[in-house]
Amino acid sequence: MKSSPGARSWIAAGVRHELLTRALPALRHDMAAPVSVVRMALLMLKRQVSAVTIDAAACEERVALIDNQVSELVHAIRSLRDWELATADDGITRSALVAQCVNLMRSAFDLHGVSLVTDDALEPGEDEPRWPSGAALRYLFLGALGYLHDGVAEAGAIRIDADGLDALCLRALPREPGATHAVLDAHRAPRALAIDAVALQNLAEDLGYTITVERDSVRLGLATGG
């Protein structure tokens, strides 16, 4: 039985949920780190104000640290809106898209023995064009990473290259001969939740993008429809 448009949208929503779940550990870390610093700074501040002689300069330093970390926490919480497809955004540059997603997934991939390698051409540049729908592109790029991570068991690295001016090419590279498998390499996503070609194509179609999926590579166009 052929699935209905509504069913395909639900499938795409499930893929996005899985991708967000994979990114959550890094997002939680970004929010938990400032809280830990604030708690330590408050403890030190409490000791300083209860001392017989109060060091005003030291207290001001602690207050400034707390203020800075609260700002970092607020920024991290507000960044959760970047994952909402219904929220209008200012778009995203190609280099920023790659940097954000690689930073989110690098630790998890490293634990599975898969390194992320980025082309030097994807360094931030002046007057770099911004592509609309940053949230959609973020989900699609993470989907491409997940597809290669889950589907290419022998991958030791995923290389991300610029493809022309408006696309990205992600390729799974085999492990170097003699390289040992990571301890957690067996703990990839359960097969039922793995990002396969069908899931990735469904996600791209639902978001309005065209991708080219091969066994060990994905080409992602940054413009809708292309």
Return the pLDDT at 140. Answer: 97
Return the pLDDT at 2. Answer: 55
Return the pLDDT at 9. Answer: 86
Tokens representing 131 are 């592509």
Half-sphere exposure of 225 (CA within 13 A, CB side): 0
Report which of residues 1 and 21 the model is more confident about.
Answer: 21
Rounded to two decimals, the pTM is 0.82
Half-sphere exposure of 68 (CA within 13 A, CB side): 8
Confidence band, pLDDT 50/70/90 cuts, at residue 91: confident
Cβ atoms of 186 and 194 within 8 Å: the answer is no
pLDDT in tens, 176-189: 776 655 544 444 55
Phi and psi torsions of 207, nearest 5°: -85, -10
Return the pLDDT at 138. Answer: 95
List 174's β-bridge partners, or say none.
Answer: 155
pLDDT in tens, 102-144: 999 998 898 888 999 999 999 998 889 999 999 999 999 999 9
Report which of residues 83 and 225 the model is more confident about.
Answer: 83
CA 226/CA 207 separation, integer angstroms: 12
57-71, 74-88, 212-226, range with greatest mean pLDDT: 212-226
Return the pLDDT at 28. Answer: 85
Kindly list the distances between the CA atom of residue 221 and the CA atoms of 45, 115, 153, 167, 204, in Å, as whole numbers in the listed order: 51, 23, 25, 4, 10
